[in-house]
Amino acid sequence: MSEYRKPLPQIQPFTEAFWEGTRNNKLLVQTCNDCDARIFFPRRQCPECWSKDLDWIEASGKAEIYAFSVTYEGVESVFREDLPIVLAWVDLPEGIRMQTNIIDCDPDRVEIGQQVEVVFKPVTDDITLPYFRPVA
Amino acid sequence: MSLAIIGIAEVPTKRDPERTRWDMLSDVCMGAIRDAGIDKDDIEAVISVNPMAQAQMALDMALGRVPEVLGLKGCKDICVLNSGGTSTTNCLRLAKYFIDNGQAKFVLIPHTTVQSDIPTEDLINFFATAPLDPQWEYPYGVTFNGAMGLITNRYMHDTGATAEQMASVTVTLRGWGALDPNSIFYGKPVTLEDVLESRMISTPLHAKECNFLADGAGAMVVTSHEIAQELGRPAAYELGHGVRFTGATPVLREDPYFIKAYRESSQDALTEADLSIDDMDLRQIYGAYPFTQCSALEGYGVCEFGEAAAIWAEGRCGPGGDLPCTSMGDATGRGHTGSGVSMAFYLDTVRQLRGEAGERQVSDCNHALITTSGGSVMNACTTIFGSAPR
Ligand SMILES: [Zn+2]
């Protein structure tokens, strides 16, 4: 794998399971065993009830675009090769909204409400980033 | 509890690395103290606005260099406060506490920022990493413009606001800036076509709808209502204040346009002032991106959700309009001086209330509402100022 120069997620002990999940092509959502909260981003404790009894469920990988923005310039030089970058906020049926990129798409045809699905892209040996692409 | 701003000074917003941070800081501190009509040794506390991305200047301020360099022999205490764009607001709050408990009669609040000597790459990195999450946002190439593009895109979807209406906000802000000698865009108005034909940065935001990073400095001297009245010079009297937190991370906010924060903070401030939103002669909105100029009006209750972009497009919020808003120009119409944008907002509000705003003067400006925000609008801090105490 060629050297990846873009910023990597700064992983915390309590988010290791999420990144282990993406390495195994699984998108995990943190859940609270005490109050059933669906938690994003993953925390040390449940932000609703402060329980430390937290768990993970595997998401279906489906999502809907809540908002997007196509970036054409103004990024750090390491991101320049990726321009245009389609930034998106996607709603998962599991009850969370996350930041991602929409890939494998025509940036001019991305729409709010569009159905998308997760794609896992290994960027280093340790890190696989979850992206989304339009459902065919 | 009472607070009045009795002295102000500012240097024009520019990109000019020849003007050092300390050059500008000295000028505005001396200027504000002279404008207040007091002696330098009357200043009993210096509460500085944290300069963003300038570690040495922040340390100079935090460790007491300002009163020492200026020879403020009566200074009893110093502090530097940081909450991004709302740092100036926090300086005012702490000053009010010092004044109220008798610790200081006069407090100096300075700001200085130079961004023109910081490499562009470092500034992009700073504005992308400071308010955005290093694990869940930054690896996706999110910039400040990108994050605000996402929100603007959804705002236009939810309200039906058109690209022309949104661009009219920038035309109006630049209209104020074109008349303001302290704006980097003094004498440089833009048309709707200029905005819409400028480069696309992060859809739907064109280059002219994004922030232009610049250098600037400003300072205020504040005291109590009673002392301000005794001094007998025009002043801006704080009449009410309210604040709401919205959340640190844009994607996690339930209220992406901050409507609730604008509504509740303004209601608290207006209730304390015993005034209504209709009593305001000027609304100063620091949101740094054009959609906030719309959602703030909707939050204040000036109009219903979805109506504000049309009001901006009608020109009602600009110079000579019947609903003047943001005569300061906001960051897009004046230049973004880091944490100095909020300083410049208060200074411009004081000018308007003292009738010193020149060509931009809002007629009969006796009550102004000002909202500042920090981070990526993590909060809305709304204050009512009047030209007289209650
Ligand atoms: Zn819980």
Q: Which residue is it, tokens 């410049």?
A: B344
Average pLDDT rounded to a whole number, residues B61-71? 97
Residue of B nearest to A78 (CA): B141
Eight-class DSSP state of B118: S
Give B-chain residues touching A75 at CB under 8 angstroms.
124, 141, 143, 146
SS3 B294: helix
B205 contact residues in A (CB cutoff 8 A):
69
At residue B296 the predicted structure's pLDDT band, cuts being 50, 70 and 90, is: very high
Residue B242: is its pLDDT beyond 80? yes
Q: How far is B212 from chain A (nearest CA, A)?
A: 12
- Nearest residue to B369 (alpha-carbon basis) of B283, B254, B262, B292: B283
User: At residue B111, does pLDDT exceed 90?
Assistant: yes
The alpha carbon of B255 and the centre of ligand 1 are apart by a number of angstroms equal to: 22
Give the Cα separation of B249 and B143 in Å (integer).
Answer: 13
Inter-chain CB proximity B153 and A73 less than 8 Å: no
Sequence-ordered list of residues with C-beta below 8 angstroms from that of B275, at least 6 positions apart, any chain: B239, B240, B367, B384
CATH says B3-117+217-231 is which class?
Answer: alpha beta
Closest residue in B to A99 (Cα–Cα): B137
Q: Would the CB atoms of B202 and A99 count as touching at under 8 Å?
A: no
Determine the distance in angstroms separating the CA of A136 from the nearest CA of chain B, rounded to an integer.
23
Distance to chain B for A26, nearest Cα, Å: 16
Across B99-122, average pLDDT: 94
Q: For residues B96 and A118, give the distance between their C-alpha atoms in angstroms, rounded to a whole number.
A: 52
Count, residues in chain B: 390
Domain positions in chain B: 3-117+217-231
User: Which three-class secondary structure string do you get for B183-245?
Assistant: CCCCCCCCCHHHHHCCCEEECCEEHHHCCCECEEEEEEEEECHHHHHHHCCCCEEEEEEEEEE
Provide mean pLDDT across the span B117-127: 84
**Chain A residue at shortest CA distance from B254:** A97
**In chain B, what are the helix, strand and coil shares in percent, each to the nearest 5?**
45, 20, 35
Comparing CB atoms, the residue among B125, B157, B210 nearest residue A76 is B125
Q: What's chain B's average pLDDT? A: 96
A72: exposed, middle or buried (Cβ count in 10 Å: 0-12, 13-18, 19+): middle
Q: What pLDDT was estimated at residue B123?
A: 82
Given the DSSP bridges, would you call strands B200-202 and B205-206 parallel, antiparallel or unpaired? antiparallel
**In angstroms, what is the C-alpha Rg of chain A?**
16
**Confidence at residue B132, expressed as pLDDT on a 0 to 100 scale:** 80
pLDDT given at position B133:
86
Q: How confident is the model at residue B131 (pLDDT cuts 50, 70, 90)?
A: confident
Domain extents for chain A? 13-134
Is B251 within 8 Å of A99 when comparing Cβ atoms?
yes
Confidence of residue B197 (pLDDT cuts 50, 70, 90): very high
Q: How far apart are CA B287 and CA B256, in angstroms?
A: 13
Beta-bridge mates of residue A133:
A117
The C-alpha of A95 sits at a distance from chain B's nearest C-alpha, in angstroms, of: 12
Chain B residues bordering chain A (beta-carbon distance below 8 Å): 121, 124-125, 128, 133-143, 145-147, 149-154, 157, 199-205, 210, 249, 251-252, 256
Phi, psi of A98 (to 5 degrees): -130, 155
C-beta atoms of A75 and B141 within 8 A: yes
Q: Pairing relation of β-strands B77-81 and B4-14?
A: unpaired
Please give the Cα distance from A131 to A112 (Å, whole number).
16
> What is the mean pLDDT of the segment spanning B2-25?
97
With a CB cutoff of 8 Å and minimum separation 6, the contacts of B239 are: B272, B273, B275, B367, B384, B385, B386, B389, B390
- Out of A68, A74, A101, the one facing B143 most closely (by C-beta) is A74
Positions of chain A with pLDDT under 70: 1-2
What ranges make up the beta strands (E) of chain B?
4-14, 43-49, 77-81, 106-113, 200-202, 205-206, 215-223, 236-245, 282-285, 367-372, 379-386
Chain B residues with CB under 8 Å of A70 CB are: 149, 200, 202-203
DSSP string, A47-75: TTT----EEEEE--SEEEEEEEEEE-S--
- In contact, A130 and A114? CB cutoff 8 Å: no
Nearest to B143 among A8, A11, A75 (CB): A75
Measured between beta carbons, which residues in chain B are less than 8 angstroms from residue A88?
A: 150
- What tokens were used for B77? 């205490």
End-to-end CA distance of chain A: 28
In angstroms, what is the span from residue A42 Cα to ligand 1's centroid? 12
d(CA B313, CA B303): 14
H/E stretch holding B100 reads: helix B87-100
Cβ pair B106, B221 in contact under 8 A: yes
User: Does residue B223 surpass a pLDDT of 80?
Assistant: yes
pLDDT-derived band at B126 (thresholds 50, 70, 90) equals: confident
| CB distance B264 to B243 below 8 Å | no
- Ligand 1 centre distance from Cα of residue A58 (Å): 18
Strands (E), B83-169: 106-113
Centroid of chain to Cα B41: 28
Contact B202 A7 (CB under 8 A): no
Residue B279 has what DSSP assignment? Answer: G
Chain B: nearest CA to A66, how far in angstroms?
Answer: 7
Nearest to A39 by CA among A94, A104, A87: A94
Chain A residue with minimum CA distance to B155: A67
What would the mean pLDDT of B264-282 be, rounded to a whole number? 98
- Select the residue from B132, B135, B145 to test the A interface by mutation, using most A Cβ atoms within 10 A: B135
Q: Please state, in angstroms and rounded to a whole number, the distance separating the CA atoms of residues B171 and B191.
A: 6
Kind of pairing, strands B367-372 and B282-285?
parallel
Measure B83 CA to ligand 1 centroid, in angstroms: 29
**In chain B, which residues have their Cβ closer than 8 Å to the Cβ of A64?**
none
Tell me, what's the pLDDT at B164? Answer: 98
- With an 8 Å Cβ cutoff, are A67 and B157 in contact? yes
For residues B101 and A8, what is the distance between their CA atoms, to the nearest angstrom? 49
Which H helix or E strand runs over A90?
Answer: strand A85-91
pLDDT digits (tens, 9 = 90+) for B322-378: 999 999 999 999 999 999 999 999 999 999 999 999 999 999 999 999 999 999 999
Phi-psi category of B370—alpha, beta or left, where left has phi over 0 and alpha has psi -120 to 50? beta
